[in-house]
Amino acid sequence: MLNKDNFESYTLACKVFEEGKPSSELSQKDITFNAAELELSDLHNTEIINEEMNRISRKIFRYSVILEMQAHVLQLMEDEFDMWHSKRYLEVSAEHATDKKAPTNVLLDSILSTRWESEYSSFKSTMRTEQYKHNLLKRTVSALEGYSYKLHDLQDYRKAAMMKGM
| 3: pLDDT strictly greater than 70 | no
Residue 166 is predicted with a pLDDT of: 54
The predicted pLDDT at position 69 comes to 96
Q: Residue-wise over 126-144: b if at least 16 C-beta within 10 A, else e? A: ebeebeebbebbeebbebb
Q: How far apart are CA 22 and CA 10, in angstroms?
A: 26
| Cα 11–Cα 16–Cα 18 angle in degrees, nearest 5 | 175
Strand partners, 9: 34
**Digit-coded pLDDT (tens) for 97-134:** 777 676 677 777 788 888 888 999 999 999 999 999 99
Per-residue pLDDT, 29: 95
* Greatest distance between any 2 Cα atoms in the chain: 90
Instruction: Round to whole Å and give the CA distance between 65 and 42.
Output: 30
The Cα–Cα gap between 124 and 26 comes to: 18
- The dihedral through the CA atoms of 146, 150, 153, 159 has a sign that is negative
**What CA–CA distance (Å, rounded) separates 39 from 131?**
28
Asked if 73 and 26 count as a contact pair (C-beta separation under 8 A), the reply is yes
How many other C-beta atoms can be found within 10 angstroms of the C-beta atom of residue 123? 19
Burial (Cβ within 10 Å: 0-12, 13-18, ≥19) of residue 104: exposed
Model confidence at 17, pLDDT cuts 50, 70, 90, reads very high
The percentage of residues in the chain with a pLDDT greater than 70, rounded to a whole number, is 93
CATH class of 43-165: mainly alpha
- pLDDT (average), residues 140-163: 89
Residue 76 CA to residue 5 CA, distance in Å, equals: 33
Q: Where are the domains of the chain?
A: 43-165
Q: Which alpha helices (H) appear in the chain, and where do they start and end?
A: 46-95, 105-115, 117-165
Instruction: Return the pLDDT at 147.
Output: 92
- Check residues 101 and 62 and name the one with the higher pLDDT: 62
CB 130 within 8 A of CB 70: yes
pLDDT at 92: 82
